[in-house]
Copies of this chain bind each other. A is one copy, B any other.
């Protein structure tokens, strides 16, 4: 049970955590913090938070759990701002999509890794932003990856695990660098392709016509290109090495595929498409199965 939860960044991720914990009866009081007063007032109106303070240091006073859900580029500032104001026993976790940069920012801000720090990443989200987009069920059946460090206190890890389980999520532990590579492949690379495709089409002459003839498949394929540009800029910068390497390799593979198409190598094309379809179909079955097994 959380006595006072401070949510720094009351958007889709932070707002949904607060909502889920309230529904689960796992939190007494929620204090919000963010840059937009309108968004914070809306969060109070929606019952997501009880009160707010725009100063992170004020917002974390007396909080036994602090959840930082701001763009990766702002993590370091938040850590520096709350450093002196945190309760000695406060547990701090975050929702950042890259963990190496969060750990580096924490180390820089705190001068060390505090035992109460549990870096985390809920694998959930939609392309929408802001507290109005948040909902209590966002994390149900979803995976949350926690990347505790050698310095992390076992008790802090237990508290953050219990918090996510109360939201219906499945918690997995992973090493920081491994998390960043897995996510580069499954999330960051697809986002680059979606942003890149929509941007390439938008730059074409006759782009109005191009978009007019796009079918439903295109809409699904590019949905993630409606995600928050600032968040994705920060993710790219934070995970630049694994993502840059993967995207470069993918660019080469697409050029190879272009050559296969141009040369009319039908057998090779069929092999690639059949292998991809088999993996996709198997994966979707696996995911549906994982959902059923999830402790909802």
Using Cβ atoms and an 8 Å threshold, which residues of chain B touch A211?
A: 186, 279, 283, 286-287
**CB within 8 A of A252: which of B143, B199, B251?**
B251
Task: Quote the shortest CB–CB distance from A269 to chain B (angstroms).
Answer: 5
Q: Are A261 and B240 in contact (CB under 8 A)?
A: yes
Name the interface size band of chain A.
Answer: 35 or more
Number of this chain's copies in the assembly equals 2
Separation of A243 and B263 alpha carbons in the complex (Å): 12
A38 close to chain B: CB less than 8 A: no
Known contacts: A229-B277, A255-B251, A261-B244. The answer to whether A186 contacts B199 by CB under 8 A is no
**CB within 8 A of A185: which of B204, B261, B270?**
B204
Closest to A189 in B: B197
Separation of A283 and B290 alpha carbons in the complex (Å): 34
Closest to A273 in B: B229
A227 close to chain B: CB less than 8 A: yes
A3 close to chain B: CB less than 8 A: no
Contact sample, A vs B, 20 pairs, CB 8 Å cutoff: A123-B213, A182-B209, A183-B213, A186-B211, A187-B218, A192-B257, A193-B197, A195-B272, A196-B253, A211-B279, A212-B290, A219-B287, A220-B224, A226-B281, A226-B284, A228-B277, A233-B270, A237-B261, A240-B261, A244-B258
Q: Decide if the interface of chain A is mainly helix, strand, loop or mixed.
A: helix
Known contacts: A244-B258, A277-B229. The answer to whether A217 contacts B213 by CB under 8 A is no
A254 close to chain B: CB less than 8 A: yes
A222 close to chain B: CB less than 8 A: yes
Of the listed residues A191, A228, A253, A269, the one surrounded by the most CB atoms of chain B closer than 10 A to its CB is: A269
> Could you give, for residues 254-271 of chain A, a 1 whenever the CB lies within 8 Å of some chain B CB and a 0 otherwise?
110111011010100110
Separation of A276 and B224 alpha carbons in the complex (Å): 10
Using Cβ atoms and an 8 Å threshold, which residues of chain B touch A277?
A: 195, 198, 225-229
